[in-house]
Amino acid sequence: MFITTGTVSLLIIPGIKTDPDIRNYIPKSIGSRAETDKIESEFGVQDMIMILFSDGTMVSRENLDNIRKIDRSVSRISGVGDRISPFTVKSIKSEEGMMVVEPLIRIIPSDTAGQRKLGKEISENRFAENIVFSHDLTSAAITATLSNMVPERLNLQKIDSVINTETGNLKILRGGLPYIRKYLLEEVNRDAIILIPAALVIMLMVLKASLGTWHSVLLPFGIVFVTTALSMALIPLLGWKMSIITVLVPVILIAVANNYGIYLVARFQELVLRYPDLTKKELIRLLLGTLNMPILFSGLTTISGLLGLMMHSIIPARQTGILAAAGVSAALLMSLIVVPVMIYVNNIDKFIRKKKTRTTERFEKFLGMISEIIIARNGLILAVSLSIVIMSGSGILLIKINTNQENYFSDKHPVREASKMINSRFGGSQTISVMIESDILDPGVLNGIDNITKWTESQDGVGNVFSISQIVREMSKVIYTKDEYGYDRIPDTREGIAQMFELYNMSGNPEDYRRLLNPSYTKAHILIKLARPENDVIKLVKSGIGELSKGFPGKVTTGGYALIMTDFANSIIRGQIFSLLFAVVTVFLLLSIVFRSFKGGITGSVPLIASIIVLLGFMGFSGIELDAATALLSSIMIGVGVDFTIQFIWCYNLTVNSGLSFTEAVPEAMRTIGRSIIINALVVMSGFAALIFSGFTSIRFFGYLVIISIGSCLLGALIVIPAILVRYRPGFIGFKTNKTSENEKTNVYAGYPSATVAGVGTKS
Amino acid sequence: MLAILLPLLQASAQNPDATQVMMKCRDLSITGSMTGKMNLIITEKNGSIRNRTLSMTSKSYEGGLEKRLIRFLEPADVRGTAMLIIDNRDIPDEMWIYLPALKKTRRIVTSEKGKNFMSSEFSNADMSSPALSDFSFKYINTDRSGDQWVIESIPASDDKADEYGFSRRISYIDKDSYQTKKMEFYGFDNHLFKVIEIRDVILLRDGKYMIRDMAASNLLNGRKSEIVFSYLSEGTDIDDSVFTLRNLER
């Protein structure tokens, strides 16, 4: 059954499809998505690809020839829609009473004088400088929209093939959201194909080093493998797609699903060595008697914490919650059934190291030393821990939120280089769209559009802005002379505006025009490109437009991919904060019920809360930003933080119930469950070390942060919790764990919790 | 071998040279002078319709020169806006536009024949009679009924292809009347992107004809444009003074 589930799941996994478009992660009902859809249904999709060229000068004959070849080839790809390139930009100028509309480059200049003249014309053309040529003429760009009638992947393949065959000496970069999506897809797939197996191999090696025999290793490892495969197989079975969030499902399972198996195997090894006279059946009963309840409780807490993600507004986050909860449930079930069965049907020797190694002895010595320090210096430990938590807490104020998906890539990644060039030289790669619904021919409305345009243009972090009011003003410059009334102004009458639009119809590119104004002149579009597409700029622009829209004679709708991205990241972060609070409350309630004490609930919640504060504080001080990936750390912390704490307190309680004092119980609990917890933490941390090789910056940071958070959960459970228990001797310790606890005083195996032994005695 | 070649030989024997067919077709569609009133109806993909009523006067001169005066009659916002177009055969067209609300006339110089005519799906080239030397022609025998010639026109150079905005055009020409019935336009990776259908013509003397009703459908953006003449008069004596700036601003 176990093997069949894994095999069938593995066969289904190749059917997984990936969806890199973050727009689809957000429900259609959410503001920015709904408003963007509305604007795009009127003015077309605003996602653009950009092909960027750079060299000493772009106006040389050779470079312009190459750009023209590429531009022509790109124009002949059926999936390419509107295009803005050095060869499509028009020069609109007034010459001796004529309005001359002609291509900016009619003939490629062959001499220096011609090139200088072209450079001057570019600097004087507001539709060329910083749009198709950089200010210093060292780079040029072709911008194009892609038709959604052709699959984006095919369009990009064709463009790539054009670029690859006609590069010349030019350095060429590709950017824009379609390329960002393409690279995201490639990196997600790469991470899934390389890093997850790498994490599993590292885990396998660490498990082997910790548990000694292959039988001991393969049980928890097999559970991780099968549950991960099962969860991934659910993706196509449920009709879902892989996303940059659901790629974390295997990561969460690697962190959580092996815990239960490791506890069981490590504890079994310890029981065999301690009670060599017990039969296999008795050992298994003893094992389950001590571990089944804490495993069940920590499993259920983790599952409920993960299911808390179902209330998330982001679709893949909900899916991640369901998939990870399904995986953890399967891991819980398999651990409690398959592990004991496998131990039972195999020879005990296959799970036991032949003899204690020097490392094992050192490890036990180390645990003993830690216990002594906790007993002797518990006040100091608590004071230092509290100071660290308080200091870390101050770092939370420094946390920055990153909503820009360009930052997912490392500085040297080609798409990041392209984004930097677009943002610094070509007015920005990400956009905000503003749609105005009104009578656009009304001079009051068009002046209002002009006010929004001018205000937006003047904001720091905003690159190029395109609006119909700019075009009307530009045209007024060629209709009127500088000293005439009307120059660089919106006409005063609706007839004047209507006729200006007709003039543009005759002279400009009607497709450009349609991107800014609908044919019936009832809707206008302002396209804002962001030179710095960060959260603060986006918030500023959105709120500023909101202010300018008050009292505006028409309906103003604000959307665009930059806003979707901000909503996406903010929803993820809000959702995760909610999930964490949900988890903390769940853990508190569960531990309160288990320990029959609110104090017990509070004590048990300490490592989780402290770890969250330390982690967020570290992020604040180190400058690691909170983004869609790093925010999902909470899902792992829920599983790991809760698990370590429940296991330790449960075991400590059993030890105290067996007759040991609060002080004596520390080394005993440390030697038994402490060892398992440390093995668990080491395995998970080493597995996550694989993420450090991810192509995404934020996933790399995620790897570091997981190591820190699991490390702090480990210290919380093994240092801070025993220090609290020894110092304050809370009354909840001593709670009864099963019906046979009355017998605990009379059934004592030397140094071992009597309740569990009593369990063996009554059942056998 | 003979069996393979025979149909080709027969086709060759039956059909005149494709260039000659296109030349005759073009000659029959060029009229000396005309006046008319037409509606330009643009239907967007979402069904919204924009209707403009225009008056048009045109006159052809020797050497392929053609002059047109177009004046807006409806809608009211643009009433009186007028364009004077000088359609030169080998040099860029000239266009003057008069904006009555601004009391300004401006000359627009543009050389793009592929550019849309008044923001419709018709190009400027569709509205005039492009030079035959800009294309090479050949037959495509796809018409089963046998009453139409199906001729492919390919721009003579890459520059011409850029100028006209298509890689090939297929014309369906009636064998009896030499009237073009339909034209299909293909993009640069051989996708059909536009179809023009001639729905009605007015027959003139000597086999000449004028198009009264035609529609262009853009298959990429789902837009459709129609030109329907409600009044059309051919061969009237039109004075050259009609095509002057003074008359434009009248």
Write down which residue in A175, A197, A225 finishes a domain. A175
Provide the CATH number for the domain around residue A155.
Answer: 3.30.70
Lowest mean pLDDT among A399-403, A701-705, B131-135: A399-403
CA nearest B48 in A: which residue? A520
Q: Which residue has the higher pLDDT, B227 or A758?
A: B227
pLDDT tens digits, residue range A502-542?
A: 877 776 566 667 788 887 889 999 999 998 888 888 989 99
Domain count, chain B: 1
ipTM comes to: 0.76
- Give the model's pLDDT for residue A98: 61
CA nearest B85 in A: which residue? A506
A731: which 2 tokens?
Answer: 């009354």
Specify if B1 maps to a domain. no
Domain count, chain A: 3
What's the CA gap between A377 and A380, in Å, rounded?
A: 5
Write down which residue in A135, A158, A175 finishes a domain. A175
Report the range out of A342-356, A448-462, B100-114 with the highest average pLDDT.
A448-462
User: What is the secondary structure of B223-236 as a DSSP string?
Assistant: -EEEEEEEEEEES-
- Give the model's pLDDT for residue A315: 83
Specify if A422 maps to a domain. no
Q: What percent of chain A has pLDDT over 70?
A: 90
Specify if A273 maps to a domain. yes
Over residues A662-686, mean pLDDT: 88
Please tell me if residue A513 touches chain B, with a CB cutoff of 8 Å. yes
Report the range out of A153-162, A182-191, A303-312, A442-451 with the highest average pLDDT.
A442-451
Interchain CB distance below 8 Å, A505 and B119:
yes
Is the pLDDT at B8 greater than 50, yes or no?
A: no
Interchain CB distance below 8 Å, A102 and B77:
no
pLDDT tens digits, residue range A269-283?
A: 888 888 888 888 888
- Give the model's pLDDT for residue A354: 61
A420 Cβ neighbours under 8 A, 6+ residues apart: none
Interface test with B, best of A499, A515, A521 (most B CBs within 10 A): A499
List C-alpha distances in Å: A435 to A225, A473, A533, A554, A563.
50, 19, 20, 10, 14
What's the CA gap between A219 and A262, in Å, rounded?
A: 8
Distance of CA B150 to the CA centre of its chain: 18
pLDDT tens digits, residue range B53-67?
A: 999 898 888 777 888
Interchain CB distance below 8 Å, B50 and A519:
yes
Lowest mean pLDDT among A224-228, A716-720, B236-240: B236-240
Which of A502, A507, A519 lies nearest to residue B48, judging by beta carbons?
A: A519
Which of A81, A495, A510 lies nearest to residue B119, judging by beta carbons?
A: A510
- Give the model's pLDDT for residue A764: 28
B168 Cβ neighbours under 8 A, 6+ residues apart: B152, B153, B154, B155, B185, B186, B190
Please tell me if residue A97 touches chain B, with a CB cutoff of 8 Å. yes
Over residues B63-72, mean pLDDT: 84
Interchain CB distance below 8 Å, B189 and A78:
yes
pLDDT tens digits, residue range A591-611?
A: 788 778 888 888 888 888 888
The model's confidence at residue A722, banded by pLDDT at 50, 70 and 90, is very high
Which of A101, A491, A498 lies nearest to residue B110, judging by beta carbons?
A: A101
- Give the model's pLDDT for residue A52: 93
- Both A626 and A648 in one domain: the answer is yes
Q: What percent of chain A has pLDDT over 90?
A: 19
What's the CA gap between A12 and A235, in Å, rounded?
A: 9
> How many A/B residue pairs have CB atoms within 8 Å?
98
| Short-list B38, B55, B58, CA closest to B225 | B38
Which of A76, A100, A495 lies nearest to residue B189, judging by beta carbons?
A: A76
Helix A248-274 × helix A675-688 angle, to 10°: 150
Specify if A32 maps to a domain. no
List C-alpha distances in Å: A493 to A49, A443, A499.
38, 6, 10
Domain of A464? 429-559
- Both A393 and A439 in one domain: the answer is no
Interchain CB distance below 8 Å, B111 and A491:
no
The model's confidence at residue A50, banded by pLDDT at 50, 70 and 90, is very high
| Short-list A466, A721, A453, CA closest to A608 | A721
Which of B42, B81, B110 lies nearest to residue A499, judging by beta carbons?
A: B81
Interchain CB distance below 8 Å, B109 and A76:
no
- Both A592 and A639 in one domain: the answer is yes
Helix then strand then coil, in percent of chain A rounded to 5, is: 65, 10, 25
Specify if A304 maps to a domain. yes
pLDDT tens digits, residue range B191-206?
A: 888 999 999 988 877 7
- Give the model's pLDDT for residue B53: 93
pLDDT tens digits, residue range B157-181?
A: 887 887 788 889 999 988 888 888 9
Specify if B167 maps to a domain. yes
Q: Which residues of B touch A98 (CB under 8 A)?
A: 106-109
Provide the CATH number for the domain around residue A617.
Answer: 1.20.1640.10
Which of B75, B101, B107 lies nearest to residue A98, judging by beta carbons?
A: B107
CA nearest B99 in A: which residue? A499
- Give the model's pLDDT for residue A96: 62
Cα dihedral A33/A37/A39/A40 (nearest 10):
130
Q: Which residues of A touch B42 (CB under 8 A)?
A: 519
- Give the model's pLDDT for residue A605: 83
What's the CA gap between A564 and A628, in Å, rounded?
A: 13
Interface test with B, best of A108, A472, A506, A523 (most B CBs within 10 A): A506
Q: Which residues of B touch A77 (CB under 8 A)?
A: 188-189
Specify if A632 maps to a domain. yes
Q: Which residues of A touch B187 (CB under 8 A)?
A: 76, 78
> Distance between the two ends of chain A, CA-based, in angstroms?
28
- Give the model's pLDDT for residue B112: 57
Specify if A38 maps to a domain. no
Residue with tokens 């090479």: B136
Report the range out of A157-166, A302-311, A460-469, A628-637 with the highest average pLDDT.
A460-469
- Both A621 and A758 in one domain: the answer is yes
* Angle at A123 (CA atoms; ends A119, A127), nearest 5 degrees: 115
- Both A585 and A650 in one domain: the answer is yes
For chain A, the C-alpha Rg in angstroms (whole number) is 33
- Give the model's pLDDT for residue A507: 65
Please tell me if residue A654 touches chain B, with a CB cutoff of 8 Å. no
- Give the model's pLDDT for residue A634: 67
Please tell me if residue A505 touches chain B, with a CB cutoff of 8 Å. yes
Specify if B51 maps to a domain. yes
- Give the model's pLDDT for residue B7: 43
A696: which 2 tokens?
Answer: 């995404």
Distance of CA A513 to the CA centre of its chain: 38
Distance from CA of A97 to the nearest CA of B (A): 7
DSSP-derived pairing of the beta strands B33-43 and B49-60: antiparallel
CA nearest A521 in B: which residue? B50
The sign one gets for the Cα dihedral A434, A435, A441, A442 is negative
Task: Quote the mean pLDDT of chain A.
Answer: 82
DSSP-derived pairing of the beta strands A48-54 and A555-559: unpaired
Q: Check: CB of residue A517 under 8 Å from CB of residue A466.
A: no
B117: which 2 tokens?
Answer: 């005519």
Interchain CB distance below 8 Å, A520 and B118:
no
Q: Which residue has the higher pLDDT, A631 or A384?
A: A384
* Angle at A677 (CA atoms; ends A672, A679), nearest 5 degrees: 100
Q: Which residues of A touch B75 (CB under 8 A)?
A: 498
Specify if A133 maps to a domain. yes
Residue A89 carries which DSSP code?
A: P
The model's confidence at residue A745, banded by pLDDT at 50, 70 and 90, is very low
Please tell me if residue A99 touches chain B, with a CB cutoff of 8 Å. yes
The model's confidence at residue A586, banded by pLDDT at 50, 70 and 90, is confident
- Both A350 and A256 in one domain: the answer is yes
Over residues B27-37, mean pLDDT: 82
Over residues A289-305, mean pLDDT: 83
Q: Check: CB of residue A712 under 8 Å from CB of residue A613.
A: no
What's the CA gap between A741 and A242, in Å, rounded?
A: 49
pLDDT tens digits, residue range A93-147?
A: 766 666 666 778 878 888 888 888 889 888 888 788 888 999 999 999 999 988 7
User: What is the secondary structure of chain B as a DSSP string?
Assistant: -HHHHHHHHHHHHHSPPHHHHHHHHHHHH--SEEEEEEEEEEE-TTS-EEEEEEEEEEEE-GGG-EEEEEEEEESGGGTT-EEEEEE-SSS-EEEEEEETTTTEEEEEEE--TTSBGGGSSSBTTTTS---GGGEEEEE----SSSSEEEEEEEESSHHHHHHHT-SEEEEEEETTT--EEEEEEE-TTS-EEEEEEEEEEEE-GGG-EEEEEEEEEETTT--EEEEEEEEEEES----GGGGSHHHHT-
- Give the model's pLDDT for residue A737: 58
- Give the model's pLDDT for residue A750: 36
- Give the model's pLDDT for residue B9: 41
Q: Which residue has the higher pLDDT, B125 or B149?
A: B149
Is the pLDDT at B52 greater than 80, yes or no?
A: yes
Specify if B226 maps to a domain. yes
Is the pLDDT at A653 greater than 90, yes or no?
A: no
Interchain CB distance below 8 Å, A102 and B167:
no
Specify if B53 maps to a domain. yes
- Both A330 and A441 in one domain: the answer is no
- Give the model's pLDDT for residue A755: 37
Which of A72, A510, A519 lies nearest to residue B116, judging by beta carbons?
A: A510
The amino acid that residue A610 corresponds to is A
- Both A520 and A456 in one domain: the answer is yes
Residue A50 carries which DSSP code?
A: E
- Give the model's pLDDT for residue A99: 64
Please tell me if residue A443 touches chain B, with a CB cutoff of 8 Å. no
Over residues B84-106, mean pLDDT: 78
- Both A583 and A628 in one domain: the answer is yes
List C-alpha distances in Å: A530 to A42, A47, A318, A428, A434.
22, 13, 31, 5, 13
- Give the model's pLDDT for residue A511: 63
- Both A82 and A135 in one domain: the answer is yes
Report the range out of A189-193, A476-480, A485-489, A749-753 with the highest average pLDDT.
A485-489
Is the pLDDT at B132 greater than 50, yes or no?
A: yes
The amino acid that residue A713 corresponds to is C
Interchain CB distance below 8 Å, A76 and B188:
yes
Q: Which residues of B touch A76 (CB under 8 A)?
A: 167, 187-189
DSSP-derived pairing of the beta strands B104-110 and A98-103: parallel
A197 Cβ neighbours under 8 A, 6+ residues apart: none
Is the pLDDT at A763 greater than 50, yes or no?
A: no
- Give the model's pLDDT for residue A72: 85
- Give the model's pLDDT for residue A201: 86
Domain of B116? 17-248
Please tell me if residue A478 touches chain B, with a CB cutoff of 8 Å. yes
Q: Check: CB of residue A459 under 8 Å from CB of residue A452.
A: no
* Angle at A175 (CA atoms; ends A432, A452), nearest 5 degrees: 20
Specify if B4 maps to a domain. no
Specify if A693 maps to a domain. yes
Distance from CA of A708 to the nearest CA of B (A): 54
What's the CA gap between A94 and A507, in Å, rounded?
A: 13
Interchain CB distance below 8 Å, B167 and A76:
yes
Q: Which residues of B touch A494 (CB under 8 A)?
A: 77
CA nearest B167 in A: which residue? A76
Is the pLDDT at B111 greater than 60, yes or no?
A: no
Residue A660 carries which DSSP code?
A: -
Specify if B28 maps to a domain. yes
| Short-list A730, A717, A726, A696, CA closest to A608 | A717
Report the range out of A669-673, A690-694, B123-127, B233-237 with the highest average pLDDT.
A669-673
Q: Does B155 sit behind a cis peptide bond, omega within 30 degrees of 0 on the bond before it?
A: no
- Give the model's pLDDT for residue A759: 36
Report the range out of A348-357, A567-576, A658-667, B25-34 with the highest average pLDDT.
A658-667
Helical H segments across A377-480, by residue range: 378-396, 414-425, 443-457, 468-479
Task: Quote the mean pLDDT of chain B.
Answer: 81
- Both A667 and A754 in one domain: the answer is yes
- Give the model's pLDDT for residue A762: 32
Cα dihedral A377/A381/A383/A387 (nearest 10):
160
Is the pLDDT at B16 greater than 80, yes or no?
A: no
Q: Check: CB of residue A389 under 8 Å from CB of residue A399.
A: no
pLDDT tens digits, residue range A427-441?
A: 888 889 999 999 999
Interchain CB distance below 8 Å, A72 and B158:
yes
Write down which residue in A114, A142, A175 finishes a domain. A175
- Give the model's pLDDT for residue B243: 86
Interface test with B, best of A65, A77, A101, A490 (most B CBs within 10 A): A101
Interface test with B, best of A495, A512, A522 (most B CBs within 10 A): A495
Is the pLDDT at B12 greater than 60, yes or no?
A: no
E strands, A104-220, are: 139-146, 171-175
The model's confidence at residue A355, banded by pLDDT at 50, 70 and 90, is low
Residue A607 dihedral angles phi and psi, to the nearest 5°:
-60, -40
Interchain CB distance below 8 Å, A100 and B109:
yes
Is the pLDDT at B32 greater than 90, yes or no?
A: no
Distance from CA of B120 to the nearest CA of A (A): 9
- Both A384 and A443 in one domain: the answer is no
Distance from CA of A49 to the nearest CA of B (A): 19
- Give the model's pLDDT for residue B18: 85
Provide the CATH number for the domain around residue B98.
Answer: 2.50.20.10
- Give the model's pLDDT for residue A736: 64
Helical H segments across A532-674, by residue range: 535-549, 561-595, 598-622, 633-657, 662-669
Which of B48, B102, B119 lies nearest to residue A479, judging by beta carbons?
A: B102
- Give the model's pLDDT for residue A80: 84
- Give the model's pLDDT for residue A749: 38
Over residues A60-65, mean pLDDT: 89
Interchain CB distance below 8 Å, A149 and B50:
no
Please tell me if residue A98 touches chain B, with a CB cutoff of 8 Å. yes
What's the CA gap between B104 and B41, in Å, rounded?
A: 27
Burial class (CB in 10 A: 0-12, 13-18, 19+), A382: middle
